[in-house]
Structure 1
Amino acid sequence: MTTSRLWRFPMPKLPSNPVLRTAGVYTAGALFALGFWFFIDASVYSKVANRSDVHVKFVDWIPLICSILGMLVINSIEKSRLSADSFSYSGGGVAWKARLVLFTGFALMAGGLSGSITVLVLKYVVPGYPWPTLYFGVANVVGNAAIMLSCIVLWVSQNIEEDYTYNLSL
């Protein structure tokens, strides 16, 4: 076993099935839409039909924005860049930069999810609001969790290695 490995055991390789890859991309899109819908539903309900004094404000939007930015950052990194300290990627030092950007993306997503849990607890649970108002915080947590799961599914499905891939660019 080489000593330059990051993990002791190798990661399993997913089968190169284009149907599996396409299903993963569509599943990730459905999870993202579901998560975003939960939050938009809570925001619209808060503004239109809510009779209490508590509404969805900008503080509730910050965790969702962090999760979406984290998803964009994570899915901009190719899996091959994480272990590509060779001359094929414009010299040395590319892998640690890609790992740093990937860590930043995961930190944004984790901050978004933990921020939504914090908003739920501090804004809705501690004051003891009843269920229709408590739904705003629960929808925020469910939306962020769905976006995080969507990011993981998309990154894994986009990085399934295919046997024959043609990249056409003009």
Structure 2
Amino acid sequence: MDQSNHLFKFNASLFKLPKSAKLRAFGVYLAGALYAIGFWLIIDAAIFSKTVNASVVHVTFVDWIPFICSLLGMLIVNLIEKSNLFSDSNNSFLSNGTNPNAWAARVILFFGFSLLAGGLAGSFMVLILKFLLKHYSFPTLGMGVSNIVCNLCIMLSCIVLWLSQNIEDEYSYSLAL
């Protein structure tokens, strides 16, 4: 194999996931649990803000923007199949192959992960600008912390779901013409 076209010393075949239906099912359930925890945290913070919170700080649309970015990133990342990323002519991840779909899939995947990272970074900025700079204490500060944990759970859910959905079953067949 010609190493002059490779950026890294290792081959993409090192990243093949094991074939197991149980591992795949566990990953899907774990991703669903992480998503449910994240979704519940943002809903709980919004309900707490409007009903129990005694301060003047409430959950507004600004608090929901990082969550929306994380959800869009999760949607984008999980719409891409792993096989499209490795569909170049010599099966190298960063090669100059002739298939433009591989590069398009990589760019879209990067955009999705950028939205996920932007959502997490945005939740940190909301915590800092809205809660920490104004010296609020708990339980008001808990609304900002729950926003961070929510976006972190959504990001982890996205990664676990993408990895587990791309695990091939032992008995799956690829029918191509």
Structure 1 length-normalised TM = 0.90
Question: For the residues of structure 1 that align with 2:54 and 2:5, how far apart are their CA atoms?
Answer: 60
Deviations 1:100-124 (A, max 9, x none): 1000000100000000000001100
**Corresponding residue of 1:44:** 47
Aligned partner of 1:30 among 29, 33, 39: 33
**Corresponding residue of 1:132:** 139
Deviations 1:17-54 (A, max 9, x none): 10000000000000000011111100100011111110
Name the CA shift for 1:39/1:167 in 2 (closer, same or farther; >3 Å): farther
Larger deviation: 128-137 or 5-14?
A: 5-14
Larger deviation: 3-12 or 46-55?
A: 3-12
Matched, 1:71 2:74: yes
Runs of 4+ in 1 over 6 A off after TM superposition: none
Question: For the residues of structure 2 that align with 1:159 and 1:4, how far apart are their CA atoms?
Answer: 26
Question: For the residues of structure 2 that align with 1:144 and 1:83, how far apart are their CA atoms?
Answer: 29
Gaps spanning 5+ residues in structure 1: where?
Answer: none
3-state SS, counterpart of residue 131 of structure 1: coil
What's the C-alpha RMSD, in Å, of the aligned pairs?
A: 1.7
Structure 2 length-normalised TM = 0.87
Question: For the residues of structure 1 that align with 2:35 and 2:74, how far apart are their CA atoms?
Answer: 10
Percent sequence identity is 58
Name the CA shift for 1:7/1:79 in 2 (closer, same or farther; >3 Å): farther
**Corresponding residue of 1:56:** 59
Aligned partner of 1:93 among 100, 120, 128: 100
Contact 2:19–2:169, Cα closer than 8 Å, also in 1 = yes
Contact 2:21–2:170, Cα closer than 8 Å, also in 1 = no
Name the CA shift for 1:154/1:7 in 2 (closer, same or farther; >3 Å): farther
Gaps spanning 5+ residues in structure 2: where?
Answer: 90-97
Aligned residue pairs total 164
